[in-house]
Structure 1
Amino acid sequence: MLSIATFNLYNLGAKASPTRLVRLGIIVTRDLGGPDILAVQEITAVDRALPGGAVPADASYQALIAAILQAGGPHYVFREIPPLANQDGGMTGANIRVGLLFNPATVNFTDRGNAGPEDSVGIRFSHRQPSLTINPGRITPAHPAFAGDNQCHWAPSRKTLAAEFEVQGQRLFVIVCHFKSMRSTTRREEDYAKKQRHAQAEIVHGFAADLLACDPQAAIVVLGDLNDGLGSKTLKLLKGDSFHNLLEEMPRGQGYTRRHGGQPQTLDHILVSPVLRRGAVVRVPHVNSNAAHGEPDPASDHDPVVAVLPKWVYSAPL
């Protein structure tokens, strides 16, 4: 069995208050059960960029990892590809990005290559199995759907991170997403943002579908803050005919992950390939969305989503 979760951390940086970090450590440890793999969104870094323009967030990850360890959770390590300064959207100057925490005692991660923020990950096919050309790597970061396009009225957005793990001798692909924000001031802006999310969903689905074309038994998880709800066109494009959204199996009214104006929304999702669907169990601890409105220094404005996945076997073991 493998546990995997997604959590939007609401612009979390190294200078977050001790109280907030303590609460996050408790959520990951107690409410999520210290998942083997934790996909995160909205990790921030405001420090000076490296010579190439990238802005790493090592201190932010280490602050979170220390808080989890202090709460009795696993001693995680992290992987990310730092974005170029002010090129991934979100709060001005925060340089938010997606990343991965994982427990090296339960899953293995082999770094491959040294990808930069503008490098695109590919798929290599060998011994009847797909693998990533770089690990981790970004999926088409220069595509207008992610890099922005003035003609389409698309702003730069978070890039999607693909990673390859080994779990008990089996390969697992994890794709972490944070699609274009729903935030808009006019109906026209809302429409532009929807179309950008649709394009992002098509790109990510295409990459995941290519992995499945190489091996129909490939174990693939696509997860993150997709900024769209169940039944939306974004989710339909991302799922296609091959992937299943685990939140669709939750009882009606329980799968929400955020509140806007007091109304529940399901924005954070975990999708799996066919080999992982049977026996998978998902839950949403409502640790943030049901908190008192206006609570000072909230842990996040999103709830995490955690899934326990069944043991799977590839057609050709590693």
Structure 2
Amino acid sequence: MRRVGSQVGMVAWSAGAAARRLGAVALVVVTVAGSQASAGAPPTPAGTDCADYPATRIRAIQGASHRSPLSGQQSTRGVVAAVGRTGLWLQDPCPDRSPATAEGLYVHLGAAPTVAIGDEVTVVGTVAERRPGGANTGNLTLTELTAATVTRLGARALPAPVVVGKGGRVPPAMVIDDDATGSVETSGAFEPTEDGIDFWESLEGMRVQIAGAVAVGPRTARGEIAVVPAGAGLRTPRGGIVARADDFNPERVIIDDRLAPTPTANTGDTFAVDPVGVLDYDFGAFKLLPTTSPTVTDRGLTGEKASAAASGQLAVATFNVENLDPGDPPTRFQRLARTVVEGLAAPDLVILEEVQDDDGPSNTAVVSAGRTVAALTAAISAAGGPRYAFRQVDPVDDADGGEPGGNIRNVFLYRADRGLSFVDRPGGAATVDSGVVAENGRPRLAHSPGRIAPGAAAWAASRKPLVGEFRWNGRTVFVVANHFGSKGGDDPLVGHRQPPVRSSEVKRHQQATIVNGFVRRVLAVDPDAAVVVAGDINDFEFSTTTDLLVAGGALVDLPRTLPAAERYTYVYEGNSQVLDHILLSPWLAARKPAYDIVHVNAEFADQVSDHDPQVVRLAF
């Protein structure tokens, strides 16, 4: 879920874009120097005739740092490279040889500019550092001129864009920053050739061209497309770029629709012409703002389909259905049903996350989800799938986080026509711990379905694990459905605090320790017990959270068994990454499980959920 959650590097939706679009009231004076040139005059070639430029060039205002070395009122000159609703981007047509100082600058006017792209102007304004979203965010600042007086001198050819990628400046391939100690604005060296955060800062406000750009994520609802230059990073077989413990891909940049609409794009799509725009920063990421809409070349990416379970195989899937509720249109239920039936091949057990209550986000006392689940199971049957039964535990109202009023929870869907059955042990409830009981030398649950340690502080305002006892081919299978705390509140990957502060990890580490302890209690009774732990863990396969889940050999994390290029269930800001996991107890893991992440959602602009489901086929 990303309506209320976030991910490493994600910051809460800020007021930054609104501030940029609406602006603050500022003094704006635009004059025309009639003796210089008229609007229709032929442009002067870029890179010539800069002898009369003022001593304070744009690069002096930007400086070789994340904050301007200058303050107070400054006068500079340049060519209008782009025009927004409340300001303009100015670029020096005669750059120097230093790659460390940006030649572009945003001029905040607070009203629509009366100059146009290609106008040469002088600007007198006050140097300011604005942090999008406010002082309490982890965002970088933007160097701007405010309260500006703009004087048009004439027309001039635009400076050529700086090429990023092959044939131009190549961004750092792995390092975002490796020398700051707290903030890149006050510590560390400014090294554009070494640190990705400094590389993009050195291009702030300038015209930039991404050579051989490839979309490494779908166009989002906010009109953003994450791209990398050709040849970047560890690529997925389907065109994305993989996040790893030592590489969060600093070569990524986000094409934004602030100045021109962006087209629909899926992961792996390319561009008919290399995208060109001015470089900006907002919402924790550097943004490329094209002044004309780029054209996308469709790569023809299609959704995957899992193999059906063979006779004797138990198929277990997990799927975050992103705030599903009865108010969603029937077409959404139909698409989710087709994903279960066709994409996942109708597995025996489907562990669902983010199932909302029967009145969805309406903040009432309703906590039951029978209508929501019934609508989904009916849609699955209508799509040619089996009849699924379900088990779940209603939460305490407004106690499990997620969208306010939604009461999201985990749910078991299971089919009984292939031999799987559910063992009901009454007494489970929202606040009741379903403990492990030893009976005749075998473990069983005190309550099934039930919850694990629902009163622990680790689960405050978070989904509690749902645990159930199943029978398959005469053997007990314990299943734990999870949805750990979100990454909300973490610093952005490309923010001023480096390394980023990931405060949300504390809760997930506690949650992982609790689930690991539950599995160990089962294994203490029977080391060969069959245990499946699955769901949206909201953390990577290389994270401490996952280390704590598998601690002591209690579990084997299946995403870690895949080749590195195939480890992803989610795409955020172009980073393909694992958030969802299936983990198995040692006895199950030793039986050569067939595991598959089924890519049907995360890579596509038209997605029915933001997570990809996954399935494992277990042979007993």
Q: Same fold (TM over 0.5)?
A: yes
1:15-54 superposed Cα distances (whole Å, 9 cap, x missing partner): 2211111111111001111110100000001539xxxx67
1:228 aligns with 2:539: yes
* Distance in 2 separating the partners of 1:242 and 1:120: 20
C-alpha contact (below 8 Å) 1:220/1:272 kept by paired residues: yes
2:515 to 189, 204, 209: 204
Q: In terms of mean alpha carbon deviation, does 168-177 or 238-247 score higher?
A: 238-247
Taking the aligned partners of 1:190 and 1:39, their CA distance within structure 2 comes to: 31
What aligned pairs does 1:157-236 form with structure 2 within 5 A after superposition? 157-184=462-489, 186=491, 191-236=502-547
Paired residue for 2:455, among 142, 145, 170?
142
Query: 2-side partners of 1:182 and 1:109: how far apart?
Result: 33
Corresponding residue number in structure 1 for 2:610: 301
Q: Tell me if the contact between 1:109 and 1:164 (Cα under 8 Å) persists in the aligned partners.
A: yes
- Asked if 1 retains the 8 angstrom alpha-carbon contact of 2:438 and 2:525, the reply is yes
Check the 8 A contact 2:327/2:359 in 1, yes or no: no
Q: Partner residue of 1:284?
A: 597
Matches within 5 A, 1:15-26: 15-26=327-338
Do structure 1's residue 85 and structure 2's residue 85 form an aligned pair?
no
Q: What do residues 45-76 of structure 1 show as CA deviations (whole Å, max 9, x unaligned)? A: 1539xxxx671100010111011111111100
Query: How far does residue 165 in structure 1 lie from its aligned partner after superposition?
Result: 0.2
Q: How far off is 1:193 after superposition?
A: 1.4
| Alignment-mate amino acid for residue 484 of structure 2 | F
What corresponds to 1:110 in structure 2?
423
What is the CA distance between 1:110 and its match in structure 2? 2.2
Change (3 A) 1:21 1:46: closer
Unmatched 5+ stretches in structure 2: 1-312
Determine whether 1:275 maps to 2:587. Answer: yes
Give the distance between the partners of 1:256 and 1:71, measured in 2 at CA: 27
- Distance in 2 between the 1:91 and 1:205 partners? 27
Could you give the per-residue CA deviations for residues 262-282 of structure 1, whole angstroms, max 9, x where no partner exists? Answer: 211100000001111131011
Give the match for residue 151 of structure 1: none
> 2:314 is matched with which residue?
2
CA distance in 2, matches of 1:63, 1:261: 32
Render the CA deviation track for 1:150-169: whole Å, top value 9, x for unaligned: xxxxxx10000110000011
Q: Which has the higher contact order (CA 8 A, sep 6+)?
A: 1
**In the aligned structure 2, how far is the partner of 1:215 from the partner of 1:182?**
35
Instruction: State the AA in 1 paired with 2:373.
Output: Y
- CA 92–242 in structure 1, closer or farther in 2 if over 3 Å, else same: same
Q: Which amino acid aligns with 2:474?
A: G
Specify whether residues 33 and 190 from structure 1 end up closer, same or farther in structure 2 by C-alpha distance, changes over 3 A only.
Answer: farther
Task: Judge conservation of contact 1:54–1:84 (CA < 8 Å) in 2.
Answer: no
- CA RMSD, Structure 1 to Structure 2 (Å): 1.7
Moved more, 207-216 or 248-257: 248-257
Given that 2:367 and 2:396 are in contact with CA atoms closer than 8 Å, whether structure 1 keeps it comes out as yes
Residue 75 (str. 1) matches residue 391 (str. 2): no
Number of residue pairs the alignment of both structures matches = 295
**Worse-superposed segment, 185-194 or 77-86:** 185-194
Shift of 1:214: 0.4
Q: Give SS of 1:192's match.
A: coil
The list of structure 1 runs, each at least 4 consecutive aligned residues, that deviate by more than 6 angstroms after superposition, is none
Identity among equivalent positions (%) equals 40
Distance (whole Å) between structure 2 residues aligned to residue 184 and residue 46 of structure 1: 29
Contact 1:246/1:281 (CA < 8 Å) preserved in 2? Answer: no
**1:315 aligned partner:** none
Do 1:183 and 1:190's aligned partners in 2 also have CA atoms closer than 8 Å?
Answer: no
**Take 1:183 and 1:190, find their aligned partners in 2: how far apart are those partners?**
12
SS at structure 1 position matched to 2:504: helix
**CA distance, structure 2, for counterparts of residue 310 and residue 285 of structure 1:** 20
CA contact (8 A) 2:326 2:359 kept: no
Q: Work out the CA distance in 1 between the residues paired with 2:339 and 2:491.
A: 36
Contact 1:34 1:74 survives alignment (8 Å): yes
Verify the 8 A CA contact 1:54 1:117 in the aligned structure 2. no
Local SS of the residue matching 2:565? coil
Letter in 2 for 1:90: G
Q: Residue 184 of structure 1 aligns to which amino acid in structure 2?
A: G
Q: CA deviation at 1:251?
A: 2.1
TM-score by length of 2: 0.46
Tell me, what secondary structure is at the counterpart of 2:502? Answer: helix
Pick the structure with greater CA Rg: 2
Question: Matches of 1:85 and 1:265 in 2, distance apart?
Answer: 32
Superposed displacement of residue 186, structure 1: 4.5
For the residue of structure 2 that corresponds to 1:142, the secondary structure is coil
Aligned to 2:444: 131
**Native 8 Å contact 1:46 1:95 kept in 2:** no
Q: Deviations over 1:91-125 (max 9, x none)?
A: 11111111100002231112111322101101110
Amino acid at match of 2:404: T
